Amino acid sequence: MAISIYELIEDSPPGEVNDVFNDIRTLVSDDKSFFEEIVPCLERYNKDQLTNIKIPGSEIETVISQYNCENGRFFDPISKKSFQFDHLNLQVSDVQPYEIDEKASERINGLLRPLLTYLSEHFPSSVNYGIFPGKNGAYYIVIVGNKYNPVNFWNGRWRSFYQFSESSPAITATLLIDVHYYEDGNVRLTTKHHSSFEAKSTDSSDIIAAIAEEEKKYQEELNTTFHGLNDNDFKSLRRQLPMTKQKINWENISSLKIGKDMAGRNQTY
């Protein structure tokens, strides 16, 4: 049951996981085992989706991810705090000081300045990020931008994951986009892009510049693809209008000649 539940949770559109959760809860009638199985599913979901959280006593937000989790606790190297996180109720608790290696702290601060400049220029105010140290000199940068507009029946999320080493300009990346439009229909766009590229140097500003260039390149590729879809694939799916170039008013069709002809034919059978 846990596998099928996670598949449903994982496939939740951006900003709609609570709706999916409540629907599943209704279907299983609040079965006790459901709550035992749903928490690991939500933990995985929150890590994968880079769920935004605010740490009490800190002015900045951080994200939940696999890269800032140690022994069941999460940490934020920028505010230097660690905490417990309730994945069911999305609540932070047991906030404690977090010690980080001085060299790693300097590197993170060096990456932070150009990263914030890039995000402020290219993302909406709802963007969040994380810079986390890993093992053997590895570093991870994650970016998540959420745009929720349920009044106009659409929600969207951008996620990007980057990994690089302290001693190398090589960077590996995964970029994901998920957009859901559901007015008078149900249309969803999901994309996944994996790539490897190199910065000019291992300098923090060059690392962020390379990331910015990769995201720009991917966005341009998406724009080209969208134009192709609109000009070709989507056009072939559209229903062509009749020769009059007008839609048929089916409610008044009985008053038209075609309606009378159809009625006359029905009477002959």
CATH of residue 203: 3.90.1150.210
In-domain check, residue 126: yes
In-domain check, residue 16: no
Average pLDDT over residues 83-111: 96
DSSP 3-state assignment of 82?
strand
In-domain check, residue 22: no
In-domain check, residue 108: yes
The pLDDT of residue 228: 75
The pLDDT of residue 229: 74
pLDDT for 269 beyond 50? no
In-domain check, residue 66: no
Average pLDDT over residues 32-37: 78
Q: How distant, in Å, are the alpha carbons of 21, 131, 159, 261 from that of 149?
A: 20, 28, 18, 48
Domain with 219, as residue range(s), is 102-237
In-domain check, residue 116: yes
For residue range 126-174, what is the model confidence (pLDDT) as tens digits? 899 999 999 999 999 999 999 999 999 999 999 999 999 999 999 999 9
pLDDT for 268 beyond 50? no
Of the pLDDT bands very low, low, confident and very high (cuts 50, 70, 90), residue 260 is low
DSSP H helical ranges for 79-157: 102-122
In-domain check, residue 245: no
Calpha distance 164→199 (Å, rounded): 10
Per DSSP, what are the bridge partners of residue 52?
63
In-domain check, residue 89: no
The number of domains in the chain is 1
Calculate the CA 240 to chain-centre distance. Answer: 35
The pLDDT of residue 58: 85
